[in-house]
Structure 1
Amino acid sequence: MPPSGFLLVALLLVALNLRAPLTSLPPVVGQVSAALGLTPAQAGLLTSVPVLCFALLTPPASALVARLGPERAVLIAVAGVVAGQAVRSAGTVPAALAGTALLGAGITIGNVAVPVVIARDFLSRSAAVTGAYSATMNVGSALTTTLTVPLAAQWGWQWALAGWGVLAVVALVVWGRASRGVAPPATAAAPGPARAAHGGSARLGRPMALLTALLCVAFAGQASSYYAMTAWLPEILHARLGLGAGAAGSLAAPFQLCAVAGSLGVPLTLSRRVPVRWVSLAVTGMWLALPAGMLLAPAAALAWIALAGVAQGGNFTVIFTLIAQRAPSVAAARRASAVVQTLGYACAAAAPTVLGAMHATTGGWTMPLVGVLALLGIMGGAMAVATRPGR
């Protein structure tokens, strides 16, 4: 396997651990709450703290990547994931909260560092590699969502949660070996193309600054809608279709699983020279199908959920492919990615709470779904401008 192929394998093993530890908790949060005597507020913190970390820690994570380089930053990120899973499973409330915060910090560093590696080492294949990165994160989410409950039934929730750390240990070892062969960034004195490809100024310039602003709006809509629907979709299905908890959870599962198709389908479509604007418009339309469909034709919920699942994976890929391809330097790509993630995840951290408050105030799910529809409409408008021909 060529060095770039081994680096890609290592990168995808890292990606497998950038969402899986977070989605392993919700299926057994009831057991964790009962065992630790958590209040509802404390149980909520275990699921919301990582997203808050994404928002608050992305700027320092970006500075860390700039100072140490993405190779060392990824090592720190995966080490944080390993340690966080172990601490979270220690069996006390302080350990659960501390481990969750450690997980959030490690994943935040990975969120920033991995796109930098893609922009630097896989620029000519950035769409395909970004799609594979996004798809692998969703595969990790699906694995832990599906298997944590049976593992907990066999060995208890502590071992079930901590056991997923094996994936992170494998990623740590493989990344450590793969990154040894990666050439260090060129110095600031490197001439033209080499400087742009490897180092360069972190200044965005006016066109990149405008693109970054548009993608901030788009990612805020994307991430807010994703976390809001992840939190409340089973409850919406229960209210609209009268399903029990188990059936509603099963029906909601394609929202995560179908993201793999979107993550891989977008780069495949772009490779066939389909304009990114058309791809973005199609993805936005599929995303809008979920809130609109649940308002107008909830009986066809499976179709709307599957379409939105494809869309949420595809739109993530479009946004970060645009950053990788259009940034004038790796440093500018890192900075743009950090700004987009900081603002996007700050909005996403509040989205489930806001949606829940709207439901409590109105006594139904019509206004919350209209709210998601509005968010996605704003997202689609920003993406339409960002992908306009000639921009």
Structure 2
Amino acid sequence: MTAARSAARGVLLAAVLLYALNLRAPITALAPVVDDVRTGLGLTAAGVGLLTGIPVLCFALATPLMAVLLGRLGTGRVVAASLVTILVGTVLRVSDGFGTALVGTVLIGVAITAGNVAVPVVISRDFPGHVPRVTGLYTAALNGGSVLTTTLTAPLADLVGWRWALASWGLLAVVALVAWQRAFPVGRPEPVVVVAASAAPAVWRRPVTWFLAVAFAGQSFSYFAISAWLPSVLQDTLGLERAASGGAAAFFQLFGMLGGIAVPVALGRRAPVAAVSAVIVLGWLTLPVGLLLAPSWWALWCTFAGVAQGGNFAVIFTVIASTAGSPAAARRMSATVQTVGYSCAALGPSVLGAVHTSSGGWTAPLLVELGALVTMGVASALGLRSMRREA
């Protein structure tokens, strides 16, 4: 590889990782200031949960549209447009009342969906031979953006108010856009991406597809519900100050970075997928069980669950890549799993908020979380068994 090509690939990797910082951060930024947002917009707990759930619903509904745009416009233009849209949505979300906040939230969700579709294409196309490693870095960067917003939003809100604190994260989009324009200057030619649909019937007839879809639904429901409400759980249960509870919840996101890197490495060294998946499920389960039985040990539970949530994504999509049979089938299976999973995930923040409001505490919401994770574990085991039978 020439020095120029190596440098260009380095610039592209930096642009991808800066872009990834924006693909969860606008959603998780709400959690540390959720009470301020609820009061400022006059919402119930379920209503403010909707502002976290809508972007995830967009992940499910807008994926086909983003695939079409990716094929017609190319990754360079789609990613640049999504970063501009994230910035606009971030500003709109805090500029007025609930209606404007909804519009901004939808824009954020659609824009992030573009990244969910575009980044895997860039990784597989521009980093051949390094897909597991770059995917791990990408997953770590997703969690890194969440760490930033979960840790710093509350202190910023104490200084400048919750609206300016949330709006300030638009700077991440500006930085990423500058880097992306350097990696993909206007007019740069690139291959056209074609998403085939011919593999759909065969994929939909395979039990492993639906087991993985249920497993990803449990994973995504749990991740976004916990991301939305964990600071509030720690604040109410342990009496932590708002800034401290946000920093404590950042453990969950921080160790997700470790899981996102470590699990692809373990799988690359031929660790049994079933054993890795079982460890991940147990790690995830420690969070609701631990917060119910020994909340003062929250750091330990957030560490275990953080590693698990960061690694589970890699396990599910490694299974998809290894069992699909063709690139077209892999794209269709991935789209099916994400559509089902993110449709359920969109309900997570609102469901936990509604259960909290009706029960007056956090025991019932944590039991709901526990049920979702048990469902995830059972579906994962059945999916891996189905994969072995097919093999």
Classify the TM-score, shorter chain.
0.7 to 0.9
Q: Which residue of 2 aligns with 1:51?
A: 56
Question: Matched residues in 2 for 1:272 and 1:278: separation?
Answer: 13
> 1:247-271 deviations in whole A, cap 9, x for unaligned?
5544433122211111111122223
Q: Which residue of 2 aligns with 1:195?
A: none
Question: In the alignment, does 2:290 pair up with 1:293?
Answer: yes
> Which one of 4, 10, 14 corresponds to residue 5 of structure 1?
10
Q: Which residue of 2 aligns with 1:189?
A: none
Alpha-carbon contact 1:252-1:305 (below 8 Å) kept: yes
> Which one of 341, 344, 356 corresponds to residue 344 of structure 1?
341
Q: Which residue of 1 aligns with 2:221?
A: 224
Question: Matched residues in 2 for 1:330 and 1:83: separation?
Answer: 35
Question: Matched residues in 2 for 1:254 and 1:223: separation?
Answer: 18
Question: Matched residues in 2 for 1:357 and 1:42: separation?
Answer: 9
Question: Matched residues in 1 for 2:165 and 2:360: separation?
Answer: 37
Question: Matched residues in 1 for 2:253 and 2:299: separation?
Answer: 13
Q: Which residue of 1 aligns with 2:69?
A: 64
Q: Which residue of 1 aligns with 2:123?
A: 118
**Amino acid aligned to 2:191:** P
Question: In the alignment, does 2:239 pair up with 1:243?
Answer: yes
> Which one of 103, 127, 131 corresponds to residue 132 of structure 2?
127
1:352-391 residue pairs with structure 2 within 5 A? 352-359=349-356, 365-388=362-385, 390=388, 391=391
Over 3 Å counting, the alpha-carbon distance change for 1:145 and 1:220 in structure 2 is: same
> Which one of 274, 279, 283 corresponds to residue 276 of structure 2?
279
Q: Which residue of 2 aligns with 1:98?
A: 103
Unaligned runs of 5+ residues in structure 2 are 1-5
Question: Matched residues in 2 for 1:381 and 1:129: separation?
Answer: 29
> Which one of 300, 312, 315 corresponds to residue 312 of structure 2?
315
Unaligned runs of 5+ residues in structure 1 are 187-197
Question: Matched residues in 2 for 1:155 and 1:234: separation?
Answer: 20
Q: CA deviation at 1:153?
A: 4.2
- Give secondary structure in 1 for the equivalent of 2:347: helix
Over 3 Å counting, the alpha-carbon distance change for 1:112 and 1:97 in structure 2 is: same
Q: Which residue of 2 aligns with 1:191?
A: none
Question: Matched residues in 2 for 1:344 and 1:49: separation?
Answer: 14
Over 3 Å counting, the alpha-carbon distance change for 1:100 and 1:362 in structure 2 is: closer
Alpha-carbon contact 1:27-1:145 (below 8 Å) kept: yes
> Which one of 30, 38, 42 corresponds to residue 42 of structure 2?
38
Over 3 Å counting, the alpha-carbon distance change for 1:178 and 1:306 in structure 2 is: same
User: Which stretch shifts more, 174-183 or 46-55?
Assistant: 174-183
Q: CA deviation at 1:315?
A: 0.6
Alpha-carbon contact 2:260-2:310 (below 8 Å) kept: yes
- Give secondary structure in 2 for the equivalent of 1:124: coil
Over 3 Å counting, the alpha-carbon distance change for 1:87 and 1:31 in structure 2 is: same
User: Which stretch shifts more, 46-55 or 258-267?
Assistant: 46-55
Over 3 Å counting, the alpha-carbon distance change for 1:156 and 1:231 in structure 2 is: closer
> 1:139-188 deviations in whole A, cap 9, x for unaligned?
111112222333344444444333322221222232233245674148xx
Q: Identity, % of aligned pairs?
A: 51
User: Which stretch shifts more, 73-82 or 149-158?
Assistant: 149-158
Alpha-carbon contact 1:86-1:165 (below 8 Å) kept: yes
User: Which stretch shifts more, 83-92 or 203-212?
Assistant: 203-212
**Amino acid aligned to 1:107:** I
> 1:76-113 deviations in whole A, cap 9, x for unaligned?
32221122123224345443322221111111121122
Question: Matched residues in 2 for 1:70 and 1:325: separation?
Answer: 25
Over 3 Å counting, the alpha-carbon distance change for 1:147 and 1:243 in structure 2 is: closer
Q: Which residue of 2 aligns with 1:143?
A: 148
Question: Matched residues in 2 for 1:39 and 1:363: separation?
Answer: 16
Question: Matched residues in 1 for 2:203 and 2:127: separation?
Answer: 23
Q: Which residue of 1 aligns with 2:3?
A: none
Alpha-carbon contact 1:115-1:334 (below 8 Å) kept: no
Q: CA deviation at 1:18?
A: 0.5
Question: In the alignment, does 2:191 pair up with 1:184?
Answer: yes
Alpha-carbon contact 2:32-2:231 (below 8 Å) kept: no
Question: Matched residues in 2 for 1:372 and 1:80: separation?
Answer: 32
Q: Which residue of 2 aligns with 1:17?
A: 22
Q: Which residue of 1 aligns with 2:202?
A: 206
Q: CA deviation at 1:316?
A: 1.6
Question: Matched residues in 2 for 1:55 and 1:253: separation?
Answer: 26
> 1:192-215 deviations in whole A, cap 9, x for unaligned?
xxxxxx876651463685443222
Question: Matched residues in 1 for 2:12 and 2:383: separation?
Answer: 31
Alpha-carbon contact 2:151-2:246 (below 8 Å) kept: no
- Normalised to the residue count of structure 1, the TM-score between the two structures is 0.83
Over 3 Å counting, the alpha-carbon distance change for 1:45 and 1:387 in structure 2 is: closer
Alpha-carbon contact 1:234-1:252 (below 8 Å) kept: yes
- Number of equivalenced pairs: 378
- Normalised to the residue count of structure 2, the TM-score between the two structures is 0.83
